[in-house]
């Protein structure tokens, strides 16, 4: 069995120890010869800290995996089997702007949904497509596993505007499985959730425990106040009548669509003079503390504090997916992939988040038919937004950008959409070469 070469773009991320931990856990099934961590100049110091920690973790595990650090991705892409993307263009400073600028228009500010998510996607798409062009040239057989948010929209752009084999991945579904298991006080291996929808807009259509339908039990637990959320999403409790009427398990991000007024009020208060600031402020502090830990030469394992960053079960999701492809396991994973008729009412070539059988040929979605009418409209509207946003991000077409924002359910009117677009283009100008031409820059972090 030949050893694998895995390239991580955004290797200086605080999330990277999650990947290392996952590779160590599955070392017998995934023989990694070379782990290449890639970043850009602004992230060089963090890259070196992560690289040293990676070497200590592999050494503790008794593995001889070579760790390569570089600022030049083209130097390590040849021969790559898997490329993982987990970067943030513009660093946390850009995220802070994404979370704050919509608030003045009484629109939610969030890094993956609404106009903030749109701004992030516009910065990210030119970079991811550059990476794809390098992969097409230097490692055309490699798989791209995209974790970069907004994961569904970015994967949509890759599928539409490149030839790279790409699967998008998010840790929301696996978090939902783990959390439901805790709520029911059962082993997570005995829980199966039938997922269908879009990234950060996915529902659990049915929850099974050892083959028995326990969906109603889970909904009652949530109605009684059981927590089903993420570190980066406020844990506002669901209305019991609404949950029973819907009969589906919502993902944490549904709060942005179903509790918009309450979340907007909370965000505006946090951004005010007496507030704690946006989520990015907290994340910046968490990252600062994490890198202080990572610097410790005695640390040789993933620290528990990493869970505060919002990346819980990240390694489980990413590495189990890579293992399924490499070992042709034909196991079920919830991923972002082309619909191909699995969800009726959505274009076949659009990316959905759904359970798939995964093996050496990639992910094959499991057919779920038509979505219930009370969620189908929202899914179709968000998918229309994503299709238009992917085209705008790839081409720099401002008309498509405007139409994307108008179709986003969190944007209230054409007038507000125009104002949001004008401001987000201006504050992100240096990272938007597709809109502003050669003078721009789009660095990966």
Residues annotated as catalytic are 253
Q: Is 297 exposed, middle or buried (0-12, 13-18, 19+ CB in 10 A)?
A: exposed
Instruction: Check: CB of residue 112 under 8 Å from CB of residue 120.
Output: yes
Q: Which two tokens stand for residue 41?
A: 């100049």
Q: Which two tokens stand for residue 208?
A: 């099974």
Handedness of CA 327, 330, 332, 333 (dihedral sign): positive
**440 three-class SS:** coil
Contacts for 31 with CB less than 8 Å, ≥ 6 apart? 1, 2, 3, 4
DSSP 126-158: HHHHHHHHHHHHH-TTPEEEE--SSHHHHHHHH
Q: Kind of pairing, strands 66-70 and 143-146? A: unpaired
* Residue from 166, 204, 131, 192 nearest 337 by CA: 166
Q: What whole-number distance in Å separates Cα of residue 214 and Cα of residue 183?
A: 12
Identify the residue whose tokens are 């070992």.
327
Q: Which two tokens stand for residue 174?
A: 């696996």
Contacts for 182 with CB less than 8 Å, ≥ 6 apart? none
């Amino acid at each position: 069995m030949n050893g694998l070469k895995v390239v991580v773009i955004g290797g200086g991320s605080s999330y990277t120890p999650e990947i290392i931990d996952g590779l160590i856990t599955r070392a017998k099934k995934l023989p990694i010869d070379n782990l290449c961590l890639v970043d850009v100049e602004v992230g060089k110091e963090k890259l070196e800290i992560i690289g040293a920690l990676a070497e200590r973790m592999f050494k503790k595990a008794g593995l001889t995996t070579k760790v390569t650090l570089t600022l030049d991705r083209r130097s390590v892409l040849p021969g790559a089997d898997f490329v993982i993307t987990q970067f943030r263009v513009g660093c946390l400073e850009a995220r802070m702007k994404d979370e704050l600028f919509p608030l003045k228009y009484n629109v939610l500010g969030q890094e993956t949904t609404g106009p903030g998510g749109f701004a992030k996607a516009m910065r990210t798409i030119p970079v991811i497509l550059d990476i794809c062009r390098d992969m097409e040239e230097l490692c055309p057989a490699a798989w791209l596993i995209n974790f970069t948010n907004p994961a569904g929209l970015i994967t949509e752009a890759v599928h539409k505007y490149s030839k790279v084999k790409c699967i998008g991945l998010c840790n929301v579904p696996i978090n939902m499985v783990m959390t439901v298991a805790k709520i029911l006080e059962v082993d997570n291996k005995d829980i199966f959730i039938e997922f269908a929808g879009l990234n950060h807009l996915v529902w659990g259509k049915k929850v099974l425990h050892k083959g028995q339908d326990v969906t109603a039990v889970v909904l009652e637990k949530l109605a009684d106040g059981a927590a089903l959320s993420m570190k980066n999403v406020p844990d506002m409790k669901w209305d019991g009548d609404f949950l029973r009427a819907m009969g589906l398990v919502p993902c944490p991000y549904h709060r942005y669509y179903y509790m918009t007024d309450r979340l907007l009020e909370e965000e505006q208060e946090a951004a005010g003079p007496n507030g704690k600031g946006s989520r990015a402020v907290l994340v910046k502090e968490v990252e600062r503390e994490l890198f202080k830990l990572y610097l410790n030469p005695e640390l040789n394992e993933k620290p528990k504090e990493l869970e505060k960053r919002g990346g819980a079960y990240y390694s489980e999701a990413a590495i189990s997916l890579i293992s399924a492809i490499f070992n042709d396991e034909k196991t079920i994973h919830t991923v972002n992939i082309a619909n191909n008729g699995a969800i009726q009412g959505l274009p076949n070539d659009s990316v959905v988040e759904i359970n798939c059988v995964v093996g050496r040929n990639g992910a094959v979605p499991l057919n779920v038919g038509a979505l219930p009418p009370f969620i189908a409209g929202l899914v179709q509207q968000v998918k229309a937004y994503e299709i238009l946003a992917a085209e705008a991000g790839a081409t720099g077409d401002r008309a498509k950008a405007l139409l994307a924002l108008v179709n986003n359910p969190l944007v209230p009117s054409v007038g507000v959409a125009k104002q949001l677009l004008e401001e987000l283009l201006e504050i992100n100008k240096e990272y938007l070469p597709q809109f502003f031409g050669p003078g721009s820059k789009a660095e990966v972090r």
